[in-house]
Amino acid sequence: MDRLSTKDRSYQMSLVKSKNTVPELAVRKLVFSMGHRYRIHGAGIPGKPDLVFSRKKKVIFVHGCFWHRHDDCKKATTPASNTEYWLPKFAKTIERDRQSLESLRELGWRILVVWECELKDTAALAEKLRVFLND
């Protein structure tokens, strides 16, 4: 049983953003500071990647660990209530992500997924981005 009313839960869920999230903005700031320029929210590209580097044919997705189910991550918890809602929702997200990545690979795009929890170690993330963007 949910501790919030349907109206309160709906309001709470409406606050969850899908674009320009804090992790996404942090990655964009880091990439920009490294001298790379990009487009955001690639309309017309499978999965609408968060950062698109068209000339390099590379994309970056910034995934929240909870919503995209990061394996072995503390943030990828499953709510105890209303699991009959959450489990299929998570399964659809995982399948949609898989299909998007597969479509991008078939089109010749190189892909990097940055997980929300990776933002804790900025130096390691900067190196990961540098290697991906400069090769």
Domains and CATH numbers, the chain: 18-134 (3.40.960.10)
Joined tokens for residue 107: 């089109």
Report strand pairing: 110-115 vs 51-53: unpaired
Q: What is this structure's pTM? A: 0.86
Whole-number percent of the chain with pLDDT over 70:
93
Q: Give the residue among 90, 91, 124, 111 at the shortest CA–CA distance from 45.
A: 111
Q: What is the pLDDT of residues 68-95, one digit of tens each?
A: 999 999 999 998 888 898 999 999 999 9
Residue 20: the pLDDT is 80
pLDDT beyond 90 at 131: yes
Q: What is the mean pLDDT of residues 27-42?
A: 95
Q: What is the pLDDT of residues 47-70, one digit of tens each?
A: 999 999 999 999 999 999 998 999
β partners of residue 40:
51
Strands of the sheet with 110-115, listed across from one edge: 39-40, 51-53, 58-63, 110-115
Residue 2: C-alpha distances to residues 15, 33, 78, 92, 101 (Å):
18, 43, 14, 22, 34
Contact yes or no for 34/131 (Cβ under 8 A): no
